[in-house]
Structure 1
């Protein structure tokens, strides 16, 4: 039935916990950590990811990503780390896209050597780059598109086809796109991951992660997840279910704003580079258009060399220089200090994350107000530069 429902209807109704007692319009919260064990169909326990709120929200996640099964975690990294450890063991090898979230990259670099798991970061993000990295012991290909923070676009269908042809598992981080803009399973990807802290939550007040995949793959993930203990409390599960009800409305508003802001920045004399897949000047614009329904609310840009990125962010009045992304409020940050701060300068330079790069998470504010804030901040930092000169 869920495949026949519209996306906004799935967000609003699929995965509700029915209030059988009082017939309330919203899901009740079941916060018990202890459930009956005898004479029940399901033996429930929070760490087993199967309390009523956990179970039903997982159905919503699955429906949004056109998957058979879903699972909610305590953070995006909990979802990522648990999934990777579920399918990799000592002696295995994983191919990882070179442009991706710094936390994922750091997890792989720091933890995998302890387990004897081998890994290779690709030289680029073309399908040929992934194929060139395949070894006899390769088990998984891991991609992220659009990537964090440079908004590079990877050919989802091409990578999925390569993985299937070589008998490998394909995994994607779909956080930046959200299920509104992109459904990787439709292109052949095996497992979809999300930092639900971002667009799924959307209000900068929920820390969560999500996985969507087949029942077969989910059983493997669950067997590891119950041991690692990365479950989410039922109150936060309820908060996330409530937030997803407005997912489509929020993301579409952010799509519109981001495209307008990207065009504005792209023609600005004080901006030297803009990274946004919705710009026709983006090198993967046609590819993005072929696999995305919308281009997303994320973009990155670099000021001209004489303008200091940190000073610029300090001058912002409306846009928040703040960690994380995808809230209804617009935020900016320097990836080299935050999302990619755990990487070395050499590692950041190798993937193009310069110290002057600014990541812009566009919110739902009025576009002209955001432009005005950027303009006043640029004027202020230019004045500072002139005084210092």
Structure 2
């Protein structure tokens, strides 16, 4: 059977399995060894080299989901981000970075790159002119994130890919918020796709991992740096991640459907000032999102009216958990100013449009009516607290 013709759920369930040749089990066996033979073997395996049986197999699943040639698994999303960037940047080089990115990535760039003599520029906006104006003679990489964290802004993938090719640059995207279920940037010409696999790939809030998908040539360059930095993942967690990814398409589709319903409901709520979700027709990037996304993600953000205390609202929620991270089957909520973007200064957050009243909502697989009921009682509690 041609794997290129397989449907997305079939890819999730079957591609990248380790065959159980001994006992013919239905799932991948787990190879826990940290020491392998080096004589008379086709592959000299070593965990830090990202090539144990479970690591190697899962890389194939990642690659097929992202419509790429090869994939790698890392110990965290930041390990995937940092290794990929450092694989293509060295002293004297320059990278153009999208204005709004994950706070951890922003902090890595501004704190670590000066130590390496790597220059960087953040764009003023998301248009072609915004990116093009930052390109210099020593620019090597364009780095973006779409949908962005936490404002769900959309960057034109095809535009970025064409701009990168025009200037002989490498294009990289953090594709975590969309997941390969909702968006495959390689189809629009993007070179390297990066994920916090902790999120939609893991999907159950119990795994910390990262992933990268790209061409064989680009992956080899990332591998050469990765084996020196040592950001590999334990094989037990690799095995758990492969198991979790079997249901990724089912989970993400359900979460995306729920998120659109919740976004529409929140948009009409009198205590909500603004909703950030690309699946809303009111979103400025709605048409672009339709062009390059299959669904619109299970993530959304919304801003409360100024007189509604976000802490009271969140603490009053009974079903939705006030929790770090995102993309689990359970719904969670957080304040970006206290978590994902806490490392940014107040001025930097204001420049990115991240207000104290902004809340990021990771929508799970619960029933929509149950989520709405929980939000309603939390809104009531916040209003009562305001009156008191």
Q: TM-score range by the shorter chain?
A: over 0.9
Once residues 305 and 74 of structure 1 are traced to their aligned partners in structure 2, the CA distance between those partners, rounded to angstroms, is 39
Once residues 78 and 162 of structure 1 are traced to their aligned partners in structure 2, the CA distance between those partners, rounded to angstroms, is 27
Once residues 87 and 167 of structure 1 are traced to their aligned partners in structure 2, the CA distance between those partners, rounded to angstroms, is 12
Once residues 260 and 357 of structure 2 are traced to their aligned partners in structure 1, the CA distance between those partners, rounded to angstroms, is 22
The residue aligned with 1:103 is 104
Once residues 275 and 13 of structure 2 are traced to their aligned partners in structure 1, the CA distance between those partners, rounded to angstroms, is 35
Once residues 282 and 54 of structure 1 are traced to their aligned partners in structure 2, the CA distance between those partners, rounded to angstroms, is 39
TM-score (norm 1): 0.99
Structure 1 runs of 4+ aligned residues shifted over 4 Å read none
Once residues 335 and 247 of structure 2 are traced to their aligned partners in structure 1, the CA distance between those partners, rounded to angstroms, is 28
Q: Deviations over 1:35-64 (max 9, x none)?
A: 011000000000000000000000000000
Once residues 323 and 34 of structure 1 are traced to their aligned partners in structure 2, the CA distance between those partners, rounded to angstroms, is 35
The residue aligned with 2:376 is 375
Once residues 269 and 379 of structure 2 are traced to their aligned partners in structure 1, the CA distance between those partners, rounded to angstroms, is 11
The residue aligned with 1:195 is 196
The residue aligned with 1:324 is 325
The residue aligned with 1:352 is 353
Q: Deviations over 1:223-276 (max 9, x none)?
A: 000000000000000000000000010000001100000000000111010000
Shift of 1:215: 0.3
The question of 1:276 aligning with 2:277 is answered yes
Q: Deviations over 1:145-199 (max 9, x none)?
A: 0000000000000010000011111000000000000000000000000000000
Once residues 217 and 55 of structure 1 are traced to their aligned partners in structure 2, the CA distance between those partners, rounded to angstroms, is 16
The residue aligned with 1:47 is 48
The question of 1:263 aligning with 2:264 is answered yes
The question of 1:365 aligning with 2:363 is answered no
The residue aligned with 1:134 is 135
Shift of 1:127: 1.7
The question of 1:227 aligning with 2:232 is answered no
Shift of 1:2: 2.4
1:271–1:302 CA contact under 8 A, matched in 2 = yes
Shift of 1:358: 0.1
Aligned residues: CA RMSD: 0.5
Once residues 193 and 129 of structure 2 are traced to their aligned partners in structure 1, the CA distance between those partners, rounded to angstroms, is 22
Once residues 77 and 373 of structure 2 are traced to their aligned partners in structure 1, the CA distance between those partners, rounded to angstroms, is 34
Q: Deviations over 1:113-149 (max 9, x none)?
A: 0000000000011122101111111100000000000
When the two structures are aligned, how many residues end up with a matched partner? 387
1:3–1:66 CA contact under 8 A, matched in 2 = no
Gaps of 5+ in 2: none
Gaps of 5+ in 1: none
The question of 1:183 aligning with 2:184 is answered yes
The residue aligned with 1:86 is 87
The residue aligned with 2:26 is 25
Once residues 298 and 121 of structure 2 are traced to their aligned partners in structure 1, the CA distance between those partners, rounded to angstroms, is 30
